[in-house]
Chains A and B, each alone.
Chain A
Amino acid sequence: MRREIPLIITGIVGVGFVIQYFIPHAPFSYMSDWFSDWFSIVGACAIVLGALNLMKMSAQKVIRKKKDWGYALVIIASFLLIVIIGLSEGKDFRVPGTRFDWLYNYMYIPLSATMFAILAFFVASASYRAFRARNFEATLLLVAAFFVMLGRVPVGDVLSGFMPEGWRLSDLASWVMNYPQSAGQRAIMIGIGLGIVSTSLRVILGIERSHIGGGK
């Protein structure tokens, strides 16, 4: 029964979700609202659970002096700092001018923006070392990237200003984005959609049981 009950709940909720989507009238519309509220509640609990889990993992790393335990110590200290300051500010902790707001503006924003900005350097380095015209497909990708990268910034039109209207780099970039790129994206999205449908059906029908901790 320990496995059957979760499977029954999953099946009922799954079928309920499908019905409420296609029949948005009472009583199914109430069901939709009910599920949404429950999802929000579970989501809120998951945030707390995630934070506590992060603390547990980091604390274990520090206590056992595992590799790079110093970083785990920084995580714990930062977490506690933000939580204590946030709680001490009361319900207005996010209002501009508070200490929490100061931490957000002058520590969190610059640090996270720096981490993301590093991506530009790695993209450039990876392009230099790996973006090669090895075969026809790679050459096609390279040519498309060339047009899109130049066409998506104003300098593209400066460089191709001598070309007639409609043939400049920005126009070519727009064409690539609207036609070949869109077609590829659509194919991928349809594939993902079909994959989601088949996986969902497997879960609803109880064929896929990995989410309850068992094998097949």
Chain B
Amino acid sequence: MSTKAKEILAITIIVIFCLIFYIRKVNGGEGILFSSLVAWLVIGAMVLSLVWILILTIRGRLISRRVVFIYVGIALALPLFMPFTQRIPISPEVRALYNSVETLKPGSKVLISFDFDPPSAPELQPMAESFIRLCFERDLKVIIMGLWPQGPQQANMALEKVLSDEKMKVKNLQYGEDYVNLGFQTGNEFVIQRMGSSFESMFPTDYRGTAYDSLPLVRNVKNFSNIDYSFNLSAGFPGSVEWVQIAVDRYGVQLGLGNTAVQAPQMYTYLNAGQITGILGGMNGGAEFEFLCKYKGKATKFMLSQSFAHMIVIAFIIIGNVAFFLGGRKSALKKS
């Protein structure tokens, strides 16, 4: 079979699967879940096939990258149908962030900056949802803004999801009194700097066009000194670094961070220096936070997929290195 035919076959299979699941969802069908036996058989088959790839590699036949792609695809997709649960260990930085929110008194004002766009949403949106949920549960007032144009729209999605929960409906939370979305403002780090003297100058109206003065929640919020806690969800520039350098260092804001896994390592320097209260790093950080909030969101659901994907990548690194050492360094290097 030619490569083109294989690609068409793979795409057709994926489309058929997507259609089946979509039709089931539209018809209100329950999610498909493997039995434990099937799940273990799938894992066994994957392990055996990896051993076979290892043997092939030792014999000097490096597999093509398409095979690696298929394994990653399987490792990400199949765990979604597996019935396994994992104990999520809580890291000190996530617990510290949770504790800092827990210590806030009811009615405290929390500023959340949504500095990300849809590509980073799988990692950051679950954090946003669980953080907003925690704020509402603890009767904190939420002020939302964004340094990225798509940020406030992501915030709306998170709000919509949280407010649709029965527990939240009972609270009868009102826009403008309990939460507000100030929208996006261009100017990167200068927006933060200007907010140090006047929020209103950067956000004369909210997301819906309502005048700043007409919103009871923010009417008396002049600058950072009226904010009790800040949380930044960031996927790059402008984001966490700018919030730390300006809002924390210059205006003394108490800040917690939610970052993508790629960005999180850079933020550990700020954590160790005591400039931030805690970090939620990547989807794992989101899952840990959900666990502390006693809420099972998307981050928790997808952790099994992430665990499998990490193990597959490690398996391929090991296979590649075995080929490197056993198959002769030079020839392995040449082939790769």
Contacts and interface: CB of A to CB of B under 8 A. Distances in A.
A44 B310 CA distance: 41
A162 interface: no
Contacts of B39: none
Contact of B310 (A115, A155, A170): A155
A129 B303 CA distance: 26
A131 B320 contact: yes
Given A92-B208, A96-B160, A120 B76 contact: yes
A176 to B, nearest CB: 10
Nearest to A188: B266
B185 interface: yes
Nearest to A177: B268
Interface in B255-291: 261, 265-266, 268-269, 272, 281-282, 284, 287
Contacts of A113: 118-119, 121-122
B71 A124 contact: yes
Interface string B189-203: 011011001100110
A120 B72 contact: yes
Nearest to A155: B307
Contact of A174 (B76, B91, B119): B91
Contacts of A40: 185-187, 190-191, 194, 202
A89 interface: no
Interface stretch (A1-9, A29-37, A55-63, A206-214): A29-37
B313 A129 contact: no
Contacts of B325: 133
Of the candidates A21, A130, A132, the one having the most CB atoms from chain B within 10 angstroms of its own CB is A132
Nearest to A101: B153
Size category, B interface:
35 or more
Contacts of A134: 324
Given A43-B187, A125-B65, A94 B156 contact: yes
A126 B336 CA distance: 10
Contacts of B208: 92, 95
B86 A154 contact: yes
Given A112-B119, A132-B321, A174-B91, A47 B193 contact: no
30 contacts: A21-B250, A33-B198, A36-B191, A36-B193, A37-B194, A40-B202, A43-B190, A47-B186, A91-B209, A92-B208, A95-B208, A109-B121, A113-B121, A120-B72, A124-B313, A125-B65, A129-B320, A132-B321, A132-B324, A133-B325, A134-B324, A145-B317, A150-B310, A150-B314, A152-B284, A153-B284, A154-B87, A154-B89, A158-B87, A168-B89
Given A43-B190, A125-B69, A182-B272, 13 more contacts: A29-B197, A33-B198, A40-B190, A40-B194, A104-B153, A112-B117, A113-B122, A124-B68, A124-B71, A125-B68, A128-B320, A131-B321, A154-B287
- The 6 A-B pairs with the shortest beta carbon distances in the complex, nearest first, are A40-B187, A116-B119, A155-B307, A36-B194, A154-B86, A128-B316
